[in-house]
Chains A and B, each alone.
Chain A
Amino acid sequence: MIVQPVLIIAAALFSLGIYGILVRRNAVMVLLSIELILNSVNINFVLFDAMLADTMMNGQIFSIFIITIAAAEVGIGLAIVLMLFRNRQTANIDEFDLMKW
């Protein structure tokens, strides 16, 4: 497998996630975009693991840890969104402007 196309696609997934975070209005959609970013990092870790032929498999183990942390992050994030929705009756992040003058 040639390395460079995979790296470029991973960079594209990362920047698409950034675009989603900046543009989406619904808070759940922002969390979906964060998952895209974490996924692109996972691709890079596994690719470099295969590229370096690492006998300790550090890349694969790191991506397993990232997947675990991402699951915890989604649980907490959705709990926060639920809480905000209960208090403000909306999940649109541009309406959470309590700290704006």
Chain B
Amino acid sequence: MELYEIVTYFVLLLLLSTALRVVTTTNVIHAAVSLVFTLALTAVLFLLLSAEFVALVLILVYIGAVIVLFLFGIMITRAPLGKNAELDNDKNKKAGAVIAFSIFLLFSYILINGFSGEIAIDQATSTQLLGEILLTRFVFPFEIVSFVLLAALIGGITLARKDEALIDEDQI
């Protein structure tokens, strides 16, 4: 149990520092890579909370797909690679820090007053049970989400493809 606590605090500390790096670094690629570390550490935290399936989904979907999309977006919008002092909007910096810090204080005040105690994790979650619940009690939201993904697919293609009128003009 002692080792478990040490690992948990280490993961939380690393999580905070990598998340801080995502929003403060002046290098766009470093921000994306720091997000990879943040998500991987979140997956480790889920494993410590015995939520294996969610951890694996997080790794597959986020680190496997979403980060690749982000790197693609960074490359294709020709964001200046390497150090770039223009990445932050300097006149928003002070106001942003004040707003973010007050949100943090409010949330941590509410959460600390509302919840306390210790979680005893004695067994792993059954992924079989999770799948059964997902396809019985939550089958309607499951189908809705698949429809949302289809709509996002069609919408993404429609938005990102070139206008046909423009293509014709280019060919002439």
List chain A positions with a Cβ less than 8 A from chain B. 1-9, 11-20, 22-29, 31-33, 35-36, 39, 42-43, 46-47, 49-51, 56-57, 60-61, 63-65, 67-76, 78-83, 85-86, 91, 94
Cβ contacts A to B, 10 pairs, < 8 Å:
A5-B9, A9-B15, A15-B100, A23-B92, A25-B89, A29-B28, A29-B87, A60-B54, A67-B54, A76-B159
Q: In the complex, how many angstroms separate the beta carbon of A8 from the nearest chain B beta carbon?
A: 5
Q: List residues of chain B with CB within 8 A of the CB of A31.
A: 70, 73
Size bin of chain B's contact surface: 35 or more
Query: B62-85: contact bitstring with A at CB < 8 Å (1 yes, 0 no)?
Result: 100110011011101111000000
Q: Given A22-B96, A32-B32, is A4 in contact with B111 using a C-beta cutoff of 8 Å?
A: yes
Q: List residues of chain A with CB within 8 A of the CB of B77.
A: 26-28, 81-82, 85, 91
Interface centre among B9, B45, B65, B77 (most CB of A within 10 A): B77
A18 near B99 with CB under 8 A, answer yes
A36 near B28 with CB under 8 A, answer no
A24 near B79 with CB under 8 A, answer no
Q: Which 7 A-B pairs have the closest CB atoms?
A: A22-B96, A72-B152, A19-B100, A20-B23, A15-B104, A11-B107, A79-B159
B112 near A8 with CB under 8 A, answer yes
A1 near B121 with CB under 8 A, answer yes
B156 near A75 with CB under 8 A, answer yes
Q: List residues of chain B with CB within 8 A of the CB of A50.
A: 49-51, 119, 121
Distance in angstroms between the alpha carbons of A36 and B23 in the assembled complex: 9
Q: In the complex, how many angstroms separate the beta carbon of A84 from the nearest chain B beta carbon?
A: 9
Q: List residues of chain B with CB within 8 A of the CB of A9.
A: 12, 15-16
Within 8 A of A (CB), among B127-157: 129-130, 133-134, 137-138, 141, 145, 148-149, 151-153, 155-157
Distance in angstroms between the alpha carbons of A26 and B97 in the assembled complex: 18
